[in-house]
Structures are given as structure tokens and as C-alpha cells.
Amino acid sequence: MVVFAATATLAGSTIAARAAEYDVGSIHIAQPWARATPKSAKSAAGYMTITNKGSTPDRVNCVSSDASAQCQMHSMTMEGGVMKMRPVVGGLEIKPDETVTLAPSSGLHVMLETLKHPLEAGETVKATLKFDKAGTVDVEFPVVAIGAPAPGTAAGGGGMKMQGTGGGMMQMDKH
């Protein structure tokens, strides 16, 4: 089942959000989206909400993407002032009757690594997600402008807040 969303207004311009909802087995995926990237970016992130309507846990992994050489489920944490991103080994677990939000503010995201091209606002990125029990589904992530808020949030909302004057660092661990 695919349900199309309405248009979204960002920074004074209107773009077609084209966000769809997806059902595979007992899993429901809503509001997939990604942000545009600078031309030199090597990676990007995709976000969505995943609900397990079933009675048993399921795990999700990203299998492939049309925009990158590799995609993985990632988590981000702050440790001693250093931002660390790591693959979620074995896949991201979605417990029964649980909704997990992948968003800049949650630290969870689909990591698109070794981009084949920059992500541009108004386009979509397709990724194939595989659930251990529910099966496989192709999800389209509408791309919003660089710095745009998450769809459905007010301007300035839904983003990761960083404090300080340049003293922070970011580290990506590859497994």
C-alpha cells in the first residue's frame, strides 16, 4: 500500500514532498526523507518512522541504494564531546507495538556511504530495506533542501543541536 502525502513548503518555495507510506508484513514505514548534500559530500542520511504492528520483534538492515555504494543502519552518540557514528550491528530492532523514529534528533538514520552523486532537493533516493521477518521493501526518500527541517516540523525543529565554538569532533566507526 502506498499513500502519497501533500506538498511541503520550505524556505518560501514549494516542493512536492512525494513521501509515501509502506507496509511489508507487520511493519509500517512512514515519512521517509533525506536532506540535500553539498557537491563534495561522500555520505548522506535518510530518515523515517518504522512501526512494528506485529507480536514479535523484527530487525531491519539497509541492503542497497541507488544513490550510494553502501547503505547501513547507523546510530550516533556523543562521547566525551566527540560525535561517534556506528553501524547498528545485526540490524535495528523494532519491538512489537513499538515505533522507532530515525531522525537527526534521535541519533538513528540510514547511512548512505560513498555517494554516487550529490543529493539534490526535489529528487528522491531509493533504498532497499530488508526486515528479518517481514521481508524486503523499496523505499523512496524525498530529498529536502540542505538545512531544511524534518517534514512535518516547524522551521528550526527536528534537527541535531550542536553547542560550543568549534571544539566538537565527529568520528565514524566502520565495522
Give the mean model confidence (pLDDT) for residues 102-130. 96
pLDDT for residue 150? 83
pLDDT grade for 13, boundaries at 50, 70 and 90? very low
Q: Please provide the average confidence, as pLDDT, over all residues in the chain.
A: 83
* pLDDT at residue number 155: 57
C-alpha angle 136/26/76, rounded to 5°?
A: 65
Band (pLDDT 50/70/90 cuts) for residue 149 is confident
Q: Look at residue 19 and tell me whether its pLDDT is greater than 60.
A: yes
* Total-model pTM: 0.79
Domains in the chain: ranges and CATH: 3-148 (2.60.40.1890)
Cα separation, 133 vs 141, whole angstroms: 23
Using alpha carbons only, what angle is made at residue 4 by residues 12 and 123, rounded to the nearest 5 degrees?
A: 55
In this prediction, residues 44-49 reach a mean pLDDT of: 97
